[in-house]
Structure 1
C-alpha cells in the first residue's frame, strides 16, 4: 500500500475549537514511520488471529482464499454494473437527442414544404406575380425584397436541415457504438457472475469440510467465543494504535449526535437481533440484516476505513472509524469496495452482501462500538 494511502488512514484535521485534548504534533517523516508501523502491526495481528493448526489451518486458508477470490470477482461485477448503468444513461440521453433532432427536422420540413409551395406558386403564376409587382417602383422594390427574403429563408431552412441530418448521423453512430460497448460489458458481467458461482460452489465444499473438522475438536459455542475474542483483540489493538494520532473528523457532526438519525447499512429484515443467542452462551454483539448476495452495503455516517480484510469468523470485514472512539463494523461481505485509508460519506457504497466467513443465510453483520464495547444499533436508526 502506498505511503499516501497509509497517510490517509489516520491523518485528519487538528482538534476542534474548545477541545482540551493535547495532541502530539508529528512531522511528516515521523507520521509516515508511525503509520508504517501501525499497518505492519495490524497485518501481523490479523495473520496471528487467523492462524489454526493441522487440517483446520489448511481448510481455513482455502476458505480465506475462496472468499478473497469471490471478493475480487464481486468488485469486478460491481464495477461492470456501474459501467452498464452509465452506458444505459448515455444511450438514453443520445436517444433523447435523436428524438429532439427528428422533431426539429420534421417541423422544419413542414415549414420548408410550405415555403416551397408558395415559392413555386409565385414564380409560376404570372397573374399573381403581375398583381404583386405593381407599377409603383417603390411598391415593386418592396415586393421584390419580400420575394428575395422568402427565397433566402427557404435556402437557410434547406441548409439547416442538411446540417441537422448530418448531426443526426453522428449521434446515431455514437448510439450504435455505445450499444456495442454495452453488449461487451454485459458479456463480461455474465462471465464474471458464472465464474463467481463456480467459486461459491467450491467455497461451500471447503466450508462444509471446515465445519466437520472444527466439530471434531470444539463445540460451536466454543468456536464463536474464540471468534469474538479475535474481533475484540483486533479492535482493542486498533484503538490503542490510534491514541497518539490526530483523530478529529473535521466539521462533520460527531457520531454520538447521530443517534436516531442513521440510515441502515442495508435494506432488509433483521434476522439476528442484538444480544440474541447464537449458540450455547454466545450472543450476538450486533445485528444481521438479511438480503440477497450482491446487494449494496452502505456506510451510515462519515468516517475513514481503518480495516478492510478477511478475519476468521467474520469473513470480509470492514471497520470504519468515526472519531470520538466510535466505530462501525460490517462483516460477512461478499466483496469489499473500499480500502484502508478511504474516507467515506453517509450512504457511500462500501461492500456487497454475502456470507463470507461463516454465516447463513447471506446478509451483513453490523455493529456499533464505543471504545471497543458493542452497543445496540437499533436505537441509532431512523
Structure 2
C-alpha cells in the first residue's frame, strides 16, 4: 500500500491542480470602476428639488440673455475677447471634469487590481485545501457500506467511517462551490477591468483634444489682446466706465436677489405647509402638538464702510479657505480669502478711473486656484463686461460672494459647493490689466467689506 500511494499521490495532486488550472485564463489585473447601478426612481421630494433647480436655471438663463443683449448696445473693446475667454473657460472646466473622471477611474482600477490579487490568494488557498482533501480521500479509499458490514467490523466503527466519508464528500462539494464562485468573481473583475480600461483610454484621448483646443484658444486670445490692448487700456481710464461696470453688476445682483428671494419664500411656504401637516397628524393621533418654531429675526443690514480717500498699503494673503458648514453670518471674521496673492485693491479705497473699490482685487498668477469662501450654491457663471468670467455663489440669508476676472469657471449654475472647494482659476479676463481675482461680498444686495469677514493672519 505505501508503494502504491507513493506512485499515485503526486498524480492525484497534479489532477486536482489541473482540474482548476483553467481559472488562470481570467486572472488579468483589474483596471477600472464599475458602472453605477441604475438609480432607483427619485422620491417625490427629490423630483421637486430638481424641478426647482430647473426653474432657477431657466430664470437665470433668461437673465443672462438679457444681460448680453444690453451689453451689445454699446461696443466695448474688451467685448472682442468675450467669446475667446468664454471658450477658454469652457475648455478649462471640461478639462477639470475629465481630470476628476480620470482620477476616479484610476482609483477604481487600483481597487479592482487589489481585489483581483486578493481573489487569487483565496483561490490558491481553496485549491490547496481541495488538493489535501482529495489526497486524504484517496488514502482512505471509498469503501462500500455493505462491504464494511460483511467484513464483520465493529458496527460503531463502521458508522464512524461512513460519517467521516460523508463529511469529506460534503466538504469537497462546498469547496468546489466556493472555487466556482471565486472564479466567477475573477471573470467579472476581468470584464469590468477591460471596460474601465477602455473608458480611461477614451478619457485620456478627450483630454488631449481639449488641451489642443485650449492652447489654440489661448493663442487666439493673445493675438486679439495684442491688437486691442491700447484701446482696452484707454477705455478703462474713461471717466464713468468703471461706474457703468459697477452699475451693471449691481443691477445683476438686484435681479438675482429677487429670484433667490422668491425661491426662498416658496421653500419657506412649503416648509410651513409640511410643518402644519405634521401638527395636524400629531393632533389626530392625540399626541402633544409641536409648536411652530420661532421665526428668525431678519438679518441685520450691513452698513457699507465710508470710503477713505488715501490708497492703503498692499497686503499678502497666504491662506486658503477650508471646508465650512453652517450659517454664513456666524463665520464673520473667520473666513479666508479665495486665492493666495497680494491684496492690491481694498474695499472703499479710490480706484484708477474713478469711483471706489466695492470689493478686493487680489493679484495672483494666471491659473491659480480660486476657492469658495464658504458652502453655497452657484447662481451665476458667465462672462460679463468689466468683470470677465464671473461666478456668483449664494450662501443663504441674502449673502452672496462674487468672483471676477477669472481665466476659467469650473462650476455651473445650480451646483452646490463646499467651503474650500476649487470653483475657478484666476486670470485677467474682461480686459483687466493684471492677473488676479476681483472678489466681493454682498448682503441684501449691498457690498460689504470682505476684510471685516476674512483674516490675513
TM-score between the two structures when normalised by the length of structure 2: 0.62
| Whole-angstrom CA distance in 2 between matches of 1:134 and 1:171 | 55
Q: Give the Å deviation of 1:324.
A: 4.7
User: Whole-Å Cα distance in 2 between the matches of residues 280 and 345 of structure 1?
Assistant: 35
Deviation at 1:349, TM superposition (A): 5.4
- CA drift at 1:106: 2.0
Q: Which residue of 2 aligns with 1:235?
A: 250
By how many angstroms is 1:282 displaced? 6.6
Following superposition, the deviation at residue 76 of structure 1 comes to 1.9
Question: In structure 1, how many angstroms separate the alpha carbons of the residues matched to 2:407 and 2:152?
Answer: 87
Query: Matched residue of 1:293: which SS?
Result: coil
- Tell me by how many angstroms 1:182 deviates: 0.2
Q: What is the aligned counterpart of 2:188 among 170, 175, 179?
A: 170
CA deviation vs aligned residue, 1:49-105 (integer Å, no higher than 9, x gap): 46544xxx4x53430010111122123212212321222232233223212211211
Q: Whole-Å Cα distance in 2 between the matches of residues 176 and 192 of structure 1?
A: 25
- Of the three residues 307, 326, 333, the one matched with 1:260 is 333
For the 8 Å contact 2:363–2:437, the answer to whether it is kept is: yes
The 8 Å contact of residues 221 and 282 in structure 1, kept in 2 or not, is answered as: no
Instruction: Tell whether the 8 Å contact from 2:335 to 2:373 is kept in structure 1 after alignment.
Output: no
**Structure 1 residues 293 and 360: alpha-carbon distance in aligned structure 2, compared to 1, 3 A threshold:** farther
Is the contact made by 2:377 and 2:417 (CA closer than 8 Å) also made in structure 1?
A: yes
Q: Give the C-alpha shift of residue 302 in structure 1.
A: 2.6
* Among candidates 347, 359, 378, match of residue 419 of structure 2: 347
Q: Secondary structure at the match of 2:141?
A: helix
The equivalent of 1:194 in structure 2 is 212
Other-structure match for 1:27: none
Over 3 Å counting, the alpha-carbon distance change for 1:177 and 1:304 in structure 2 is closer
**Alpha-carbon deviation of 1:43?**
3.8
> Are 1:226 and 2:244 counterparts?
no
- Choose the corresponding residue for 1:7, options 23, 42, 55: 55
What's 2:113 paired with?
95
Structure with larger Rg: 2
Q: Does 1:180 align with 2:202?
A: no
- CA separation of 1:86/1:261 partners in 2, compared to 1, >3 Å: closer, same or farther? same
Measured in 2, the distance between the counterparts of 1:333 and 1:347 equals 18
Looking at structure 2, the residues matched to 169 and 107 of structure 1 have their Cα atoms a distance apart, in angstroms, of 18
Contact 1:45–1:234 (8 Å) recurs in 2: no
For CA contacts below 8 A with separation 6 or more, give which structure has more relative contact order. 1
Q: 2:366 touches 2:407 (CA, 8 Å); kept in 1?
A: no
Number of residues of Structure 1 aligned to a counterpart in Structure 2: 339
Residue equivalent to 1:300: 374
- 1:253: how far off? 5.2
Q: Who is 1:203 aligned against?
A: 221
Once residues 112 and 278 of structure 1 are traced to their aligned partners in structure 2, the CA distance between those partners, rounded to angstroms, is 83
Of 374, 392, 398, 1:319 maps to 392
Contact map agreement 1:227 1:312 (CA 8 A) in 2: no
What is the aligned partner in structure 1 of residue 14 from structure 2? none
How far did 1:177 drift? 1.6
Q: CA deviation at 1:178?
A: 0.5
Q: Provide the residue aligned with 1:288 in structure 2.
A: 362
Matched, 1:269 2:341: yes
Mind listing any 5+ residue stretches in structure 1 that lack a counterpart? Answer: 10-34, 125-129
TM-score, structure 1 normalization: 0.73
What CA distance in whole angstroms lies between the structure 2 residues aligned with 1:277 and 1:201?
Answer: 34
Q: What is the CA-CA distance between 1:289 and the residue it aligns to? A: 6.3
Higher mean Cα deviation, 95-104 or 186-195?
95-104
Determine the structure 1 residue equivalent to 2:82. 64
Tell me if the contact between 2:343 and 2:360 (Cα under 8 Å) persists in the aligned partners: no
